[in-house]
Amino acid sequence: MTAGLNKNAVLKICEAQAHHLLHVLRFKTGDVVRVFNGADGEWRCEVVATGKKDIEIAVRELVRPQSPEPDLWLCPAPIKKAHFDYMMEKATELGVSEIQPILTQRTQIREVNGDRIYAICREAAEQSDRLTVPAIGGDAVALKDFVEIVPRDRLMIVCAEHGEAAPIEQALRAPAAAKFKKAAVVTGPEGGFSGEELELLRKAPNACFVRLGPRILRADTAAIAALTCWQALQGDWKTSG
C-alpha cells in the first residue's frame, strides 16, 4: 500500500490486492489483516466493508514501527524468465532496496516488465515479513550509462568469473571496500561480461571485483551469493531480528 497509515484511518485496498483477499483468502467484514506501506510501519487493520472488487479497512493498531534497512542495490543483466523471476524473489527476501536491470553485449533478454517485477517483489516482501518493497529502476540501462550514473559513494561489487578478482569475503573486508555504507551488486548475463565490459567496469573508482568461489555460478545463483555475503559482512544480518 502507498496511502498513509494512521490510527482509525479508513482506506480502500487496490483492486489487485482486494481480489486476492476476497477470492483467494476469503476475507470478510471483521477479519484482521496486517498492512504496511514502506514508510509508516506495520499496522493491524480490520476489514470494515467488502464489495465484489474492493475492500475497505480501518487502521487499528501499530504492530511494528518502521526501521532503517541497508541501502543495497541489485543491478543484473536480464536472463531467462524463470531464473530472473527467482532472482527477483530471492533478492527481495535478502533485503535489496533497489533493482536496476542493465544491458550488456551478451544480454539476450532486452526488455524488462517493471510492473511484473514489482508484483513479484511485493509478494516476496509480504511472505518474508519485510516492511518495504524494492524500488524498480524502470527500463534496463546500457552498462556504459550505468557506470556513469552509479554514485561514487556506492561500492560497485562486480561479480567476475575471470580476470583479477579477490575472493568476496577478502574483498569486502578490505578497508577500501569496508568504508562504503552503500553497495550495488552487479551481475552479468548467461555468457558473462565481455573483456571490453570488464575493462570499462574496472575503470570505475568505486568498483570492487569479486570472485564467488572456485565454481562457475549461474547468473541468478551469483546474485544471491553476492547479496548474502554483503548482508552477512556489512548489512543487517549482524543485527537481531
Q: What is the CATH number of the domain that holds 77?
A: 3.40.1280.10
**5 located within any domain:** no
pLDDT of residue 240: 60
**More confident site: 172 or 1:** 172
State the total domains in the chain. Answer: 2
Lowest-confidence region among 19-28, 141-150, 182-191: 19-28
Element of type H or E holding 230: helix 219-233
Average pLDDT for 174-202: 95
Task: Tell me, yes or no, whether 102 and 149 share the same domain.
Answer: yes
Average pLDDT for 193-200: 94
pLDDT of residue 85: 97
Task: Tell me, yes or no, whether 152 and 191 share the same domain.
Answer: yes
Q: Rounded to whole angstroms, how far apart are CA atoms 186 and 208?
A: 10
Task: Tell me, yes or no, whether 18 and 89 share the same domain.
Answer: no
pLDDT grade for 241, boundaries at 50, 70 and 90: low
Q: How many CB atoms lie within 10 A of CB 38?
A: 16
Task: Tell me, yes or no, whether 130 and 105 share the same domain.
Answer: yes
**More confident site: 13 or 36:** 36
pLDDT of residue 3: 67
User: Model's pTM, two decimal places?
Assistant: 0.87
Are 193 and 149 spatial neighbours (Cβ–Cβ below 8 Å)? no
pLDDT of residue 141: 96
Question: pLDDT, tens digit, for every residue of 198-217?
Answer: 999 999 999 999 999 999 99
Residue 149 pLDDT exceeds 70:
yes
Q: Is 27 helix (H, G, I), strand (E, B) or coil?
A: coil
Task: Tell me, yes or no, whether 134 and 166 share the same domain.
Answer: yes
Q: What distances in angstroms separate CA 107 from CA 56, 75, 77, 104, one per listed residue?
A: 44, 13, 6, 5
Task: Tell me, yes or no, whether 114 and 232 share the same domain.
Answer: yes
Task: Tell me, yes or no, whether 35 and 56 share the same domain.
Answer: yes
Task: Tell me, yes or no, whether 192 and 232 share the same domain.
Answer: yes
**More confident site: 5 or 147:** 147
Are 94 and 231 spatial neighbours (Cβ–Cβ below 8 Å)? yes
Q: Which residues contact 27 (CB under 8 A, 6 or more apart)?
A: 21, 33, 47, 50, 55
pLDDT grade for 107, boundaries at 50, 70 and 90: very high
**2 located within any domain:** no
In terms of residue numbers, what domain contains 138?
71-238
Task: Tell me, yes or no, whether 46 and 145 share the same domain.
Answer: no
Average pLDDT for 165-170: 94
Are 150 and 156 spatial neighbours (Cβ–Cβ below 8 Å)? yes
**189 located within any domain:** yes
